[in-house]
Amino acid sequence: NQEDVDSIMLEFDGTPNKSKFGANAILGVSLSVCRAGAGAKGIPLYKHIQELSGTKELVMPVPAFNVINGGSHAGNNLAMQEFMILPVGASSFAEALQMGSEVYHILKGIIKAKYGQDACNVGDEGGFAPNVQDNREGLVLLVDAIEKAGYTGKIKIGMDVAASEFFMKDGRYDLDFKNEPNDGSSVYTAHSLCELYKEFARDFPIVSIEDPFDQDDWSSWASLCSSVDIQLVGDDLLVTNPKRIAEAIQKKACNGLLLKVNQIGTITESIRAALDSKAAGWGVMVSHRSGETEDNFIADLSVGLASGQVCSLIVFFASWAVFHTSQEIEFFRVIFFQSRM
């Protein structure tokens, strides 16, 4: 029994952050029990997760492809960490994968023509890392690539700002944090940064922003959430922790969960986090982690929970290979699910 095994491990560990056994050790056992449960039933892993979570109807997720890297993932001047494309207009996961690949290659051509061959190098997450000076410029590049690919209206934009990376002790945000010292011209108050996000949402086809503020800047989260009609995703804010999720629901701080199994440590807690978020009317985006292994569990998790969204690295070759083997396995596994459903 998944819940029983997970509960016993948490009881024996006895610490709030799993520091006695270690979250990775607990996670390994939890994942193994989940796979064993599916094997004992003789059903696919995603079907077992569907039964564990009580999910009634399965849906294929919309992939979020990270195509431009900034922040701590790249050596350029971009403060904001990830610029993503979401093929919301695709009729299938396979078509979404193709659309993402096409836009990625067109984006490469645009970057090469504008910034030179060296700008086609990639960051830690597999997206391009051109020496773009302004975050708005990164969004313009995406719009141009989407338009040239012929997918205007069918592909939307998402961002992972990772604002805690440039949060200052005085409560302001330094968008030029990679250049220290600097003249302070790119330092924003929480209010002015909120207004910047509103401009982005107005001027670009943005449907999702992740971690727009520091994880403890609750009031700024709530202010932005009440004033925009897009998905605000909590990663650093929530850390897939049911207690943080409950607090965010109470404070109306966001409306989306980034679900990372190895952030919380057990399948039972991950399922609870997803169900609590859905009950609040939130979106759920199952996500990989930086430095991902070749384990493909999150493909089954995303489908079994009917999360509707999965975040991973970008498709690299038009021949459907991808930049990282783990994401290749995850993507093709979801396509396999689709063929059987």
- Which has the closest alpha carbon to 276: 256, 251, 302? 256
Backbone torsions φ then ψ of 14, nearest 5 degrees: 70, 10
Annotated catalytic residue, options 82, 102, 125, 165: 125
Instruction: Record the tokens describing residue 79, joined without a space.
Output: 């403060």
Annotated catalytic residue, options 108, 178, 260, 278: 260
- Between CA 139 and CA 72 the distance in angstroms is 18
- Which has the closest alpha carbon to 106: 137, 67, 66? 67
- Between CA 21 and CA 17 the distance in angstroms is 10
- CB of 238 closer than 8 Å to CB of 253: no
- CB of 59 closer than 8 Å to CB of 9: no
Backbone torsions φ then ψ of 265, nearest 5 degrees: 110, -20
Instruction: Record the tokens describing residue 104, joined without a space.
Output: 């990625």
Question: Catalytic annotation on 260?
Answer: yes
The CA distances from residue 307 to 58, 203, 256, 285, in Å, are 9, 28, 11, 6
Q: Where are the beta strands (DSSP E) in the chain?
A: 62-69, 82-86, 156-160, 173-174, 187-188, 206-210, 231-234, 256-259, 283-287, 308-313
- CB of 247 closer than 8 Å to CB of 12: no
Question: Catalytic annotation on 125?
Answer: yes
State the catalytic residues. Answer: 125, 260
